[in-house]
Amino acid sequence: MCRPTYFDVTYSINVWMDPSRPTSARTGQEQWKGLHDTFSTLGHRVELIEPVPGLPDMVFSANGATVVDGRALVARFRDRQRADESAAYLDWFRAAGWSEVCQAEYVNEGEGDFLFTGTEILAGTGFRSDQRAHDEVRDFFGRPVVSLRLVDPRFYHLDTALSHLGDGEIMYYPGAFSKESRSILSERFPNAILADESDAAVFGLNAVSDGKNVLLPQAATGLAARLRDRGYTPVGADLTELLKAGGSVKCCTLELRE
């Protein structure tokens, strides 16, 4: 995770970002700390990367890399406003002793678009990560990759429209995907939890699951009820200030799979 020390919305690279709308770094930091402390309370170890002045979106650490089997493929961002984040993540992984660290050749926005299910990697494209990055991820990790196309600009990263819950179970918003991708998801995950538009629009799918507890925006009440019905424990989080930049629970969380 990365503290939102420099959080602000001074440019727009997604439909959620409006530089004319007031933001509060203090509120963002308080909400982020609530998420951080919740992870710790649930027994998870949280590593921190230092925020860099001039990189307000660095709080969205999920975009920094994809980490599977002890290997880290660091992001290559589409937008110049975030490009310098890659160097910070490369330095962090190398300083922390990770031996297999590489920066992606093609535009690849980390766990924003690449979600590991335990066996395969679900890969998003359409707005950010390059389609060619899907092959690069498959070759780097030696894992099957399933390509999915996003079509609604509100859900510009895969992790805004789909979340892996554990044991091959997912939840997603069908309206975010192309017809072909909806067919792929329906065939591969016939028992998936389907979110309605109201829960998706508050970033309810931008969630993190440890297989038991699912941390998600507290406004996604419908999804929380469906998760309870499936035996999960939903844990609500308030990250409404960070949503002004187009991110929530998962965006703030890069999973380190050693």
Per-residue pLDDT of the chain (258 residues; tens, 9 = 90+): 999 999 999 999 999 999 999 999 999 999 999 999 999 999 999 999 999 999 999 999 999 999 999 999 999 999 999 999 999 999 999 999 998 999 999 999 999 999 999 999 999 999 999 999 999 999 999 999 999 999 999 999 999 999 999 998 999 999 999 999 999 999 999 999 999 999 999 999 999 999 999 999 999 999 999 999 999 999 999 999 999 999 999 999 999 998
Task: Name the domain count of the chain.
Answer: 1
Question: Would you say residue 100 lies in a domain?
Answer: yes
Residue 187 tokens read as 């065939």
Query: What pLDDT score was predicted for residue 99?
Result: 87
Q: Angle at the Cα of 201 (from 170 to 254), degrees rounded to 5?
A: 55
Question: Would you say residue 218 lies in a domain?
Answer: yes
Q: Are 62 and 250 a contacting pair, CB within 8 Å?
A: yes
Q: Which residues are catalytic?
A: 157, 251
Residue 152 tokens read as 């609604």
Residue 193: C-alpha distances to residues 186, 190, 232, 255 (Å): 11, 9, 12, 22
pTM over 0.95: yes
Q: What is the CATH number of the domain that holds 239?
A: 3.75.10.10
What residue type is 184 in one-letter code?
I
Question: Would you say residue 147 lies in a domain?
Answer: yes
Question: Would you say residue 232 lies in a domain?
Answer: yes
Over residues 141-193, the pLDDT tens digits come to: 999 999 999 999 999 999 999 999 999 899 999 999 999 999 999 999 999 99
Task: For residue 142, count other CB atoms closer than 10 A to its CB.
Answer: 9
Q: Are 170 and 193 a contacting pair, CB within 8 Å?
A: yes
Domain of residue 130, residue span: 25-243
Mapping DSSP to helix (H, G, I), strand (E, B) and coil, where does residue 63 land? helix
Question: Would you say residue 176 lies in a domain?
Answer: yes
Residue 102: C-alpha distances to residues 76, 93, 94 (Å): 10, 10, 10
Question: Would you say residue 8 lies in a domain?
Answer: no
**Residue 93 backbone phi and psi in degrees, to 5:** -65, -40
The C-alpha atoms of residue 151 and residue 153 are separated, in whole angstroms, by 6
Question: Would you say residue 19 lies in a domain?
Answer: no
Query: What pLDDT score was predicted for residue 198?
Result: 98
Question: Would you say residue 13 lies in a domain?
Answer: no
